Amino acid sequence: MRQMLMPLCAAGLAVMAARPGRAAPFQPSALFDQIGLTSKQRAAIDEGRPVAKVLSWGESSEVYVFGAVFIDGSPATYLKAARNVARLAGSAGYLGGGELTSNPTPADLRDLSVDPDDVKALKKCREGDCDVQLPTSSMQAFQEKVNWSRPDANDQVNELARGMIVNLVQAYRRGGNAALGEYRDKDHPTRIATQFETMVGRSAALPDVLPELRQYLLRYPDADLPGADSFFYWEKVDFGLKPTIRVNHGVIYHRTEGNGDVSVVAIKQLYASHYFHTALDVSVCARDPARPERRGFYLVTLKSSQQDGLTGVKGSIVRKTVVDKTRSALESALASIKHKVEQAGPTDDVPAENSK
């Protein structure tokens, strides 16, 4: 699982309420009340121990896990690490990854390779019967464009997959969520844009800290977010089951107001080859305006996802395992982040370099 980036990984947190308007002051104590943390959990967070809690929101296919920790360090250190996509290659569970340029080409994905078991699955993929999450058009492309009898069939698959990812990012940059299409998984077509809107709606109970970021995530590219650092990257991750290729849109946004600085990192999944139909992770780092004298900041995170295989009798058993692992992994990741940020020492509190 993820290390420094994991709390960014899977609608989030205090930015997702549906109503428009100016941001409310970020108050950790009020947020912890709404999440329903116990006094013991709140004390643990204040003492610098990470806490993660599974939230009983949504349908059985949806997973929401909240986490928080107090860090005696600088938010700028955390933001710098979150923006450094290259460091993912050295993280536990990561098999590869890299940032995509503003005008991506297959060369940006030269290190990406489809897992051998997935190559075998693609050879026989059909709508309603495919072990890889794909829209119908992509299934057909693998059937029609790959010469499976040739010894270089694997290379053909990888070349075609890289081109598909480039096309997906370009289509998303033009058309936003509507361009993400749908998966034809078994007999259940899944429209990504609809799922993403549902996921965001589940989080409306949380405080409205940065409503403009919510609008940006929902309406991209038609919504503007001045000062935001928006970037794209791919990753290949081993979650302990099937290696999974994911394509993500990252956003880092920083705003200074009378109530202090608030920085948010959002990681929005555009595609995953397995498990995750939709995922959005949002992390907020901010000081407590009620305690301005206290050095350090709170890092609070919501990991949200809609996943395959969590429904029905068998799915309920799988869901328990998935949820437990997600919660424990988030706590471990928060502890790792805290250690690394505090070990880095003081850093000027400046936002990450902005880009369009």
**Assigned token pair, 107:** 């060369």
d(CA 350, CA 31): 25
**Model confidence at 15: pLDDT above 50:** no
Model pLDDT for residues 162-179, shown as the tens digit of each residue: 999 999 999 999 999 888
Domain 13-103+208-344 is of which CATH architecture?
2-Layer Sandwich (3.30)
Q: How far is CA 307 from CA 38, 135, 175, in A?
A: 28, 16, 24
Residue 297: pLDDT band with limits 50, 70, 90: very high
Q: What share of the chain is helix, strand, coil (3-state, %, to 5)?
A: 40, 25, 35
**Model confidence at 159: pLDDT above 70:** yes
Between 150 and 313, the higher pLDDT residue = 150
pLDDT attached to residue 31:
86
Locate all alpha helices (DSSP H) within 136-257, ordered by sequence.
136-145, 153-175, 192-202, 211-219
Helix (H) or strand (E) holding 344: helix 312-344
**Model confidence at 4: pLDDT above 70:** no
E strands, 162-321, are: 182-185, 188-191, 229-238, 243-257, 260-272, 276-286, 297-307
**Model confidence at 254: pLDDT above 60:** yes
pLDDT attached to residue 189:
55
3-state SS of 76-91 is: HHHHHHHHCHHHHHHC
pLDDT attached to residue 259:
55
pLDDT attached to residue 10:
34
**Assigned token pair, 20:** 């428009």
Mean pLDDT of the chain: 82
Backbone angles phi, psi at 101, to 5 degrees: -70, 170
The domain spans of the chain are 13-103+208-344
d(CA 125, CA 103): 30
pLDDT attached to residue 145:
95
Sign of CA dihedral 168, 196, 309, 233: positive
* Share of residues in the chain with pLDDT > 90 (%): 48
Between 224 and 15, the higher pLDDT residue = 224
* Share of residues in the chain with pLDDT > 70 (%): 81
Q: Are 282 and 13 in contact (CB under 8 A)?
A: yes
**Assigned token pair, 268:** 């929005």
pLDDT attached to residue 292:
72
Between 259 and 26, the higher pLDDT residue = 26
Among 336, 278, 282, which residue's Cα sits nearest to residue 7? 282
Model pLDDT for residues 122-155, shown as the tens digit of each residue: 999 988 888 998 888 899 999 999 999 999 999 9
